[in-house]
Structure formats: structure tokens, C-alpha cells
């Protein structure tokens, strides 16, 4: 547990000095302005919740992809990846701790989007169910870390992570229904969306911003947490297998 907390704290200290984190934090208000402007032009101010939720989830997933890739690439470029793998501390715990630090960015992104809507458009979106909203943001952050951790093992095998990062961003936005609900997607595509935690997160977060009572909040949070747990477990198993392979063929530090 101490190793996990140390990894989280280490990543938080790195994150606020990282260009990727700065980029995500700067683009969140811009995306919010774009989505709110579209809804205002269409005369659909009732879609303000969509314009707040979408930038939050997009920023969270994008930064998780960056973190998963750069975590391995930076260690490899600095020549410290071999020492990190050879250390008594389990690399999987370090990876999970550093990935979980990204959860903090989800809270910041939601605050940025909410404030942008109020300050720029005068749409101070009420928070009728703050407990559900906060819980959804936090659980989604952890599920995002778990899902993105699967990619860390893949990045050990690849000389560059940028291609995968760029490829996996927009398909997840679409399947996750972060801006357009899953219900408007083609029927044949919806089952794939149910397996993506973002679809559950987006629906629950949007419901938590509405006045009606949130139906089945705890079961839906459990589904998000469950999908995140599957991601964490898969990431740990894959990372262990990949490390055994690169040790055997001697390509751990290959760039």
C-alpha cells in the first residue's frame, strides 16, 4: 500500500509539470465553449449537461492514454526502465498507482467545464445530486486508469505509443457516448458500447445533473467500477506476461 501511495504522489508531482496535462487542462474550457455554443445556436439549452459531461470524460480518457504511454516511453528514454523492472517493488503496482493519479484530473476537468459554462454563457448548471456526481467522477477516474493500464503492457512492446494514443481516442468517445447518447447509435453498435465504461459514466453523470431522481445510481456505479476492475486485472496479467517475454528475448530497452 505504501508503494501504491508513493506512486500516486510521484505521478501527481509530475503531472502538473507535464505538457500533456497542461494541454488537456487548456483544451477542456475550449471544448466546453464549442459544445455550449452549438447547443445555444440550436436553441437547445436543455443539452447543457451534455456539453459539461463530454469535455470532462474526453479530457480524462485522453490524459490516461498519454500517461499510459509516456510512463513507459520516458523510463525507456532515460535508461531507467531496466532498473525499474529489476527493483524489488512490483512494476504492476507502480503502474497502477501512477495511473490512478489521473483521477485528480477528472475532478479538475469537471470543475473547469462547469465554471466555463457559468462564466462564459451564464449557464450555472445546478447540481441537484452532488453526491452522485462526485462519486461518478471519482469512480470513472479509477475505471479510466484501469482500462488505460491495459495499454501500458502494449507500450512495452512498441517503440512509440503515440500511434496507439491517437487511434484509441475518438473511437472510445463514440462508443462511450460522451456527447451523443448510445441510444442514437446504430442498433448493431450498441452492444459494443455497453462494454465501454464511458457509456455508463456518461449516462449516469448526465442524469446526475438533471432534476429528476437518479434511478439505480448504485448499481450503475458498480458496473463502472466492475469494468474498471476488469481493466486493472487484465492490465496486471498482460504486464506480467509482457515483462517475461521481453526479458526472454532481451528487448526491454529497445527503442
- Asked if residue 201 belongs to a domain, the reply is yes
The pLDDT score that the predictor gives to residue 19 is 80
- Asked if residue 254 belongs to a domain, the reply is no
Instruction: Return the C-alpha cell found at 150.
Output: 491495459
Cell 448504485 found at: 218
CB 39 within 8 A of CB 50: yes
- CA nearest to 136, candidates 192, 63, 201, 83: 201
Instruction: Look up the domain containing 231 and give its range.
Output: 2-249
- What is d(CA 155, CA 68) in angstroms, rounded to the nearest whole number? 8
Give the dihedral sign, CA 152/16/61/136: positive
Terminal Cα-to-Cα distance of the chain (whole angstroms): 32
Query: Which pLDDT tens digit goes with each residue over 89-130?
Result: 777 788 788 888 888 878 889 999 999 999 999 989 889 999
- Asked if residue 76 belongs to a domain, the reply is yes
- Asked if residue 104 belongs to a domain, the reply is yes
Distances from the Cα of 167 to the Cα of 20, 69, 128, 206, angstroms: 17, 13, 36, 26
How many separate domains does the chain show? Answer: 1
pTM: 0.88
- What is d(CA 133, CA 234) in angstroms, rounded to the nearest whole number? 27
- Asked if residue 255 belongs to a domain, the reply is no
Instruction: Return the C-alpha cell found at 204.
Output: 449516469
The pLDDT score that the predictor gives to residue 219 is 96
Amino acid at each position: 500500500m505504501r508503494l501504491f501511495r508513493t506512486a500516486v504522489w510521484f505521478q501527481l508531482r509530475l503531472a502538473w509539470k507535464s505538457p500533456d496535462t497542461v494541454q488537456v487542462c487548456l483544451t477542456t474550457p475550449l471544448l466546453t465553449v464549442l459544445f455550449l455554443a452549438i447547443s445555444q445556436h440550436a436553441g437547445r439549452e436543455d443539452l447543457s449537461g451534455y456539453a459539461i459531461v463530454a469535455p470532462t470524460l474526453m479530457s480524462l480518457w485522453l490524459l490516461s492514454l498519454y500517461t499510459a504511454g509516456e510512463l513507459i516511453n520516458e523510463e525507456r528514454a532515460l535508461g531507467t526502465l531496466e532498473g525499474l523492472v529489476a527493483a524489488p517493488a512490483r512494476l504492476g503496482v507502480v503502474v497502477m498507482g501512477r495511473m490512478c493519479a489521473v483521477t485528480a484530473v477528472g475532478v479538475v476537468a469537471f470543475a473547469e467545464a462547469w465554471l466555463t459554462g457559468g462564466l462564459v454563457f451564464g449557464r450555472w448548471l445546478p447540481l441537484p445530486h452532488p453526491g452522485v456526481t462526485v462519486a461518478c467522477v471519482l469512480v470513472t477516474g479509477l475505471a479510466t486508469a484501469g482500462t488505460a493500464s491495459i495499454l501500458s503492457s502494449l507500450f512495452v512492446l512498441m517503440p512509440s505509443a503515440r500511434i496507439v494514443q491517437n487511434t484509441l481516442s475518438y473511437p472510445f468517445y463514440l462508443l462511450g457516448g460522451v456527447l451523443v447518447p448510445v441510444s442514437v447509435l446504430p442498433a448493431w453498435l450498441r452492444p459494443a458500447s455497453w462494454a465501454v465504461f464511458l457509456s455508463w459514466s456518461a449516462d449516469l453523470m448526465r442524469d446526475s445533473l438533471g432534476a429528476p431522481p437518479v434511478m439505480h445510481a448504485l448499481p450503475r456505479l458498480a458496473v463502472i467500477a466492475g469494468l474498471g476492475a476488469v481493466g486493472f486485472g487484465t492490465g496486471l496479467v498482460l504486464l506480467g506476461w509482457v515483462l517475461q517475454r521481453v526479458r526472454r528475448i532481451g528487448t526491454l530497452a529497445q527503442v
